[in-house]
Amino acid sequence: MRAAAERASLLVVMTDPIGPARRAVEEQLAESSPALRAFFEQELAHAQAALAVDRSTIGLRVMIVAAADRVAHQLEPLIGEHPVACKRGCSWCCRGIRVEVLAPEALAIGQLLRSSRAPEAVTLLSRALATAGGPARDLSAAERWQAQLPCAFLDEQSGACTIYDARPMVCRRHNSMDVTACERAASGPAQSTTIPRLAGPEILYGLSQAALGCV
């Protein structure tokens, strides 16, 4: 758990958790602006304070997501120049794919559902999830795409993700600067349409995903 905590702390500077990489980043930080060094120190202090009171798997997951979201704000000027089209309720990307969820993310989804729904509703949902997974289980990636089966957490009427605040990193990292490209991709064969993406969020949430994999 201590190693995982160190990895989670290092996430805040978007770097590899391995020691030599950390030293390399610290060397780079030594050359960087006072504002970036202050941000690094502040994030490390934040992570250490959070870990002092909660080292549970859920606690680490909450800390990693919060750190990723804080770092995401640093990307806002970049995103302002190249806006992403993604927003709550847009869901072309919530169909036809296998949504992979790490253990801490599954726990967080369970926690969200238990805290926001009646026990009977959670039981019904668990059964519905088990049933919904059946038809997709044996499909290849191409068949899955062709079938455009919706994610079990998608509310098809509104297009809303029903677990938005606990959605996994794989959903957070996926982005597009052109929603019409997403729509075209959804109605064509898999990978036939190039989706213009912004690398920053993809890298950031990809590293967050890797950090969660260490928890």
Return residues touching ligand SF4 (CB under 6 A). Answer: 85-86, 90, 92-94, 99, 151, 153-154, 161, 163, 167, 171, 174-176, 179, 182
What is the distance between the alpha carbons of residues 37 and 29, in angstroms, rounded to a whole number? 6
Query: Looking at beta carbons only, is 17 or 168 nearer to ligand SF4?
Result: 168
Min dist CB 161 to ligand SF4, Å, is 3
**Residue 177 C-beta: closest distance to ligand SF4, Å:** 8
Tokens of 74: 């640093």
**Residue 87 Cβ, how far from ligand SF4 at the closest point, in Å?**
7
State the minimum distance, in angstroms, from the CB of residue 38 to ligand SF4.
33
Asked if 143 and 71 count as a contact pair (C-beta separation under 8 A), the reply is: no
CA distances from 103 to 24, 114, 125, 161 (A): 30, 17, 19, 19
Nearer to ligand SF4, 10 or 204 (CB): 204
* Closer by beta carbon to ligand SF4, 90 or else 136: 90
Please, which residues have CB within 8 angstroms of residue 179's CB and are 6 or more apart in sequence? 85, 90, 92
- What is the rounded CA–CA span in Å between residue 117 and residue 166? 14
**CA-to-CA distance for 56 and 62, rounded, in angstroms?**
10
197: left (phi over 0), alpha (psi -120 to 50) or beta: beta
CB 210 within 8 A of CB 169: no
Cβ closer to ligand SF4: 99 or 139? 99
Q: At closest approach, how far in Å is the CB of 104 from ligand SF4? A: 15
Q: Kindly tell me which of 175 and 209 has the beta carbon lying closer to ligand SF4.
A: 175
